[in-house]
Amino acid sequence: MTVMTPEVSLDPELAAGDETFFWRVPRHHGLGCLRATFRRHSYARHTHDTYAIAAVLSGCETFFHRGEQRYVWAGSIAIVCPDEIHDGEPYGGGFEYRTFYPSQELMQEIAEDIVGRPLSRPPWFRQSVIVDPELARAHADLHACLCHDNVWTCEMEQDTRLVAFLAGLIVRWADLDGVPPVRCESKGIVRVRDYLEANLARDVELAELAKLAGLSRSHFIRAFQRETGLTPHAYLLDRRFRAATRLLGRGNAPGDVAAACGFFDQSHLNRVFKARMGVTPGTFRAA
């Protein structure tokens, strides 16, 4: 039997009723699990390498996704696919929710089990918010089953519930054959994105990026945001956050991660990371 111990966030900003618990299930491609109550915390716009599949138990969360503001009420499930820009904050008095962060590999494995053939890509979901009470209950039951303090379940029950939930989600709501919309980007913006990826630890100047794109600085900022959905600075922070996520997941110390990913110091990493993940780098690494 696997008993997991999540780290409880004791950050002062969570003192007014916010609460987070984060842990991982390593045998499922490092599946991340978040249990949280937020009354004040707001996520900055960001992306993930993984999916984010969240079920709201009480209250309402609102989040920006695919160019629109969405609302997730109790009993509904929000789905964000990998690389999609989103944020999140309480709507009204706050909300309590449970989130899974399954990898693309895990989702594709489940989808291929369903169709009985190899797929060219992981499943894609057209809807940002789905109203499916049966799946929402299965989501909550699975989360409780995987939770650290549930000592009455064995790995077989956990795995059975996980596969059943993800398979049901994919069968009912995923698009396995259609192609997700692809954002058309100019060659100049692509050059800048590739350059930033290769120079995350550098303090890159705006003029340098504009020259690389072949545009004036003001035109470059507008073009970059139009084509990527983020300003150049926000995009750089997002990529540093994602790089930090990978390094922390390998057990690297937050101070080393901050230096490797181009943050000013560890406190800078803490602020950027928590604004996008809901937990501190130390909590994420400990999981």
Please report the sign of the dihedral spanned by the C-alpha atoms of residue 237, residue 239, residue 242, residue 247.
negative
Greater confidence, 147 or 95? 95
pLDDT for residue 287 = 86
Min mean pLDDT across 16-30, 144-158, 179-193, 250-264 is at 144-158
CATH pick for 187-286 out of 3.10.20.30, 1.10.10.60, 1.10.357.140, 1.10.8.60: 1.10.10.60
Give the three-state DSSP class for 256. Answer: helix
Domain with CATH 1.10.10.60 in the chain: 187-286
Is 10 a residue whose pLDDT tops 60?
A: no
pLDDT for residue 103 = 98
Candidates 118, 110, 213, 222; CA nearest to 164 is 110
Task: Please give the average per-residue pLDDT across 91-106, as a whole number.
Answer: 96
Q: How do residues 222-275 score in pLDDT, each as one tens digit? A: 999 999 999 999 999 999 999 999 999 999 999 999 999 999 999 999 999 999
pLDDT for residue 216 = 96
Structure tokens at 201: 């630890």
pLDDT for residue 154 = 84
pLDDT for residue 77 = 98
Is 6 a residue whose pLDDT tops 80?
A: no
Phi, psi of 32 (to 5 degrees): -90, 145
Q: Which CATH class is domain 7-175?
A: mainly beta
HSE-CB at 71 with a 13 A cutoff on CA atoms is 6
pLDDT for residue 195 = 96
In whole angstroms, how large is the CA radius of gyration of the chain? Answer: 19
HSE-CB at 255 with a 13 A cutoff on CA atoms is 0
pLDDT for residue 178 = 66
pLDDT for residue 249 = 94
Give the three-state DSSP class for 88. Answer: strand
What CA–CA distances, in Å, run from 132 to 35, 56, 77, 111?
A: 20, 12, 7, 19
Q: How confident is the model at residue 176 (pLDDT cuts 50, 70, 90)?
A: confident
Distance of CA 112 to the CA centre of its chain: 23
Backbone φ/ψ region at 29: left (φ over 0), alpha (ψ -120 to 50), beta: left
| pLDDT-above-70 percentage for the chain | 91
pTM: 0.90
Is 153 a residue whose pLDDT tops 80?
A: no
Q: How confident is the model at residue 279 (pLDDT cuts 50, 70, 90)?
A: very high
Task: Answer whether 236's CB lies under 8 Å from 202's CB.
Answer: no
H or E element in which residue 198 lies? helix 187-198
Domain with CATH 2.60.120.10 in the chain: 7-175
Task: Please give the average per-residue pLDDT across 6-35, as a whole number.
Answer: 76
pLDDT for residue 185 = 77
- What is d(CA 102, CA 106) in angstroms, rounded to the nearest whole number? 6
